[in-house]
Amino acid sequence: MTQHSKWKKIATVASGVALAFSLNAAQAAETIKVGVLHSLSGTMAISETTLKDTVLMMIEEQNKKGGLLGKKLEPVVVDPASNWPLFAEKARELLDKEQVDVIFGCWTSVSRKSVLPVIEELNGMLFYPVQYEGEESSKNVFYTGAAPNQQAIPAVDYLMEEEGVERWVLAGTDYVYPRTTNKILEAYLKSKGVAEADIMINYTPFGHSDWQTIVSDVKKFGGAGKKTAVVSTINGDANVPFYKELANQGISAEDIPVVAFSVGEEELSGFDTAPLVGHLAAWNYFQSADSEANEEFIAAWKAYTGDDKRVTNDPMEATYIGFQMWAEAVEKAGTTETDPVRDAMYGITVPNLTGGYAVMNTNHHLTKPVLIGEIQADGQFDTVWQTAGGVIGDAWTDHLTESATIVADWTAPIKCGNFNIKTGQCSGQNY
């Protein structure tokens, strides 16, 4: 082969590679990729599988409307399998390899904390749809679940004022969310005059199943002559044996009410609800909410799943709100690029499913109502209390000394997730 022929052949191969690359890029550009990062196996699958299905339903509905920016949405689903380090690997896979434009995912705070450095490094966008402990605001995350002042604090206020509770059991799964939430609640209770001796704190690992000793301790703690309640941040499938053991030891909702922050309609659908009737949960949404938007959402969900028995829950509503806001921001920005979409998110208002409106604030948290519901025999909730209007999510609690002077605001002039209003300094991520 002559030198000329060699160079001609090399040029032809290079041209073919370039053409294939450009065709692949063009094909990728024809869709907007949506990453779905939820556990489909392991201890958290009981809760997260439904959120995966919710995102897929939202994508399907958006595509029926013509997609976004003239492009169809393409879901990219991965399974981090309730394995917290794997969440980070799967997030990197979604952003680096799959080139997704947005991610909807995570349930536990430990999974979100695992994903956070990857999302920030690669300038991705994550919509996080579950109640959490606060004490965080990242420019790459929109928190559509409840902050402590939108769930934990109102729940304690309700028990204190309406139920006359004086002794408190703070029971949680042993990870970031329960520990930080209980730290906030302990400080809050003490500020209300509750003695340290009237607060019992207990943590158990994920998937914990042997509750006999712990429930016995709770029963003994509640037998001191003061009205006692359990504030539960127990997560995942450990809830099933926990409530069963309460019933086994004869603890009713009248004796020691439990208010849960991680038990909703989806979890109850897998329970024998008899032991749970009368116990409480605090959320921003219940399936029983009476609104036209909720009726439409429930009907769409049952039609999508083909199962009239499938229920809806709070993290589904948070996913719905986040998806609607992201879609509106993309249209508003005219692009799916993270920075313009982030700027377009602020102030977006969409109907929530309880009849009001959700607003995205510049601290990346929503304004939403707070509801307390009582568990019914059919696995639904009867709302026994709710706020008069929406509550603005507070990224940093006022009840811990170290964060009382911290605010988050991702707009000028602050542009910071943890700005100290005393020192005038940003001590973390900014831009």
pLDDT at residue 74, as a whole number: 98
Count of helices and strands (H, E) across the chain: 12, 19
Closest to 230 in 3D by CA, of 274, 294, 185, 293: 185
Report residue 26's pLDDT band, with 50, 70 and 90 as the boundaries: very low
pLDDT at residue 40, as a whole number: 98
Calculate ∠ Cα 144-146-152, nearest 5°.
175
Domain boundaries, the chain: 149-283
Q: Are residues 389 and 356 in contact, defined by beta-carbon separation less than 8 angstroms?
A: yes
Q: Are residues 21 and 29 in contact, defined by beta-carbon separation less than 8 angstroms?
A: no
pLDDT at residue 174, as a whole number: 96
Across the range 170-183, mean pLDDT stands at 96
pLDDT at residue 17, as a whole number: 44
pTM over 0.95: no
pLDDT at residue 148, as a whole number: 97
Residue-wise pLDDT for 79-136, tens only, equals 999 999 999 999 999 999 999 999 999 999 999 999 999 999 999 999 999 999 999 9
Report residue 46's pLDDT band, with 50, 70 and 90 as the boundaries: confident
pLDDT at residue 220, as a whole number: 97
Higher pLDDT, 227 or 273: 227
pLDDT at residue 200, as a whole number: 98
Report residue 24's pLDDT band, with 50, 70 and 90 as the boundaries: very low
Report residue 427's pLDDT band, with 50, 70 and 90 as the boundaries: confident
Query: What is the CATH superfamily name and number for domain 149-283?
Result: Response regulator (3.40.50.2300)
pLDDT at residue 431, as a whole number: 56
pLDDT at residue 271, as a whole number: 75
Residue-wise pLDDT for 383-404, tens only, equals 999 999 999 999 999 999 999 9
Residue-wise pLDDT for 276-296, tens only, equals 999 999 999 999 999 999 999
| Residue 7 pLDDT > 50 | no
| Residue 23 pLDDT > 60 | no
Report residue 269's pLDDT band, with 50, 70 and 90 as the boundaries: confident
How far is Cα 185 from Cα 198, in angstroms, rounded to an integer?
13
How far is Cα 310 from Cα 418, in angstroms, rounded to an integer?
40
| Residue 409 pLDDT > 90 | yes
DSSP string, 217-278: HHHHHTTSSS-EEEEEE--GGGHHHHHHHHHHTT--TTTS-EEESS--HHHHTTS--GGGTT
Query: Percent of the chain at pLDDT above 70?
Result: 93
